[in-house]
Amino acid sequence: MLLDLSHTSHTTARTGVQRVALGLYRAFGAAAQPLTFDPYAREWRDLKTWERANLENPRRLGIKRRAHWPWSAQWSGRARRAARWIAPAASAQTGGTEAASSWAAARGLIEPEIFSPDAAATLPELFARVSGPKVALFHDAIALRMPELSPPRTVGRFPAYLRELAQFDGIAAISESSRVELLEYWEWAGLRDTPPVAAILLGIEGAEIEARAAFERIQARTTAEAKARPEVALQPVILSVGSIEGRKNHLGLVQACEILWARGLKFELRMIGLPQRQTGSPALALIQQLQAAGRPLRYEGAAGDTARETAYAAAAFTVYPSFAEGFGLPVAESLVRGKPCVCLGSGALGEIAAGGGCLTVPYPSPEALAEACARLLQDPAELAALTAAARRREFPSPADHARRLAEWMGTL
């Protein structure tokens, strides 16, 4: 199975799209052939050793989302491009074109990323070299639904991107809400000859039996360490995991917590997530302001797997204050770990919350989030009931997602 990892293999950021792409890469294992669009060579090719290293070293975290290409890779790509221009016949067996024969035998092509305009321009060339079905994952169109909370560059890119998706043989939406969203956009745009769109829910890291058992051990160790420190007045921990950006509404969450601190409620807010400076700056500024004022607020930026698991283990419950999501990985990941979550009750988040373990709000205003958090902080019985419901939840694993995706591709 060919798997486009053009962005994921060139960034150490681990936001939602990268984690989904990595989940497929690991789930398919040796059955996956990762490839990239090289913007300097202007060609599709297999990954090189240094690009694979970026995929296989998940603990190395970056603070920037953009793809990084070393100077050596940039010059190498330009040289291959120049060679094709100077002597097309001599360069036909070099660069990305040498993979054509192996690609033709692939079971299909999966595009889990939001590809660039340059890559989009060469999709017909790539498709011509792959005999199996070509499928793209569709995450969401929130950039168009909420342009005021999205980076301007992303907003400008999305209309063309949504039209380019129609070139694929099928689209695997990550939720039913996303499926409907894409179909409605295509209808509005007047596109008629569009491929089938199916909702194939994402797999959740930690859903496997082994992963759940490992988390239980972390939970037990964390609880034991807390009990061994009776001299420390431990406060309940509210955890929020997710990129700090406008549409994810962390500003509303921090404002909600300030409402509760001002009332005298005792708890700690712990936040983990890559900062998005363009749209997340108001939230980041308020975080700094409240920390300077002495509020129990800990923001750790991007965190590795171990730090994130430890944070989940120490949390009483989580809050995901987002206005809208294509899926809502942090909500599902919280429930898999037996942690209740406060979140929006509609859209894709409502789809996840419907199975139990969540306390939902009709709109994630600071006041609504404050009220929901206060309920769980002040009512141990409600928190215990939601915790029990969360622990009963079952989710597919990344391997399940890869299997279902491959099976659906076989029907195209």
CA torsion sign for 99, 101, 106, 108 is positive
Q: 326-370, pLDDT tens digit by residue?
A: 999 999 999 999 999 999 999 999 999 999 999 999 999 999 999
pTM above 0.85, yes or no: yes
- What pLDDT does 91 receive? 52
Q: 384-408, pLDDT tens digit by residue?
A: 999 999 999 999 999 999 999 999 9
Domains of the chain, each with CATH number or no CATH: 2-204+398-409 (3.40.50), 209-391 (3.40.50.2000)
Sheet with 2-4, edge to edge strand ranges:
43-46, 33-38, 2-4, 109-111, 134-138, 170-173, 197-199
- What pLDDT does 63 receive? 56
- Low-confidence stretches of the chain (pLDDT < 50) are 58-59, 93-97
- What pLDDT does 159 receive? 95
Q: CB within 8 A of 170, min separation 6: which ones?
A: 133, 134, 135, 195, 196, 197, 198, 408, 409, 412
- What pLDDT does 95 receive? 46
* DSSP letters for 293-339: TT-SEEE--S--HHHHHHHHHH-SEEEE--S--SS-HHHHHHHHTT-
- What pLDDT does 399 receive? 94
- What pLDDT does 99 receive? 55
Spatial distance between the Cα atoms of 140 and 184, rounded to a whole number of angstroms: 12
Q: CB within 8 A of 322, min separation 6: which ones?
A: 242, 247, 248, 249, 328, 343, 344, 349, 364
Q: CB within 8 A of 347, min separation 6: which ones?
A: 177, 324, 325
- What pLDDT does 246 receive? 92
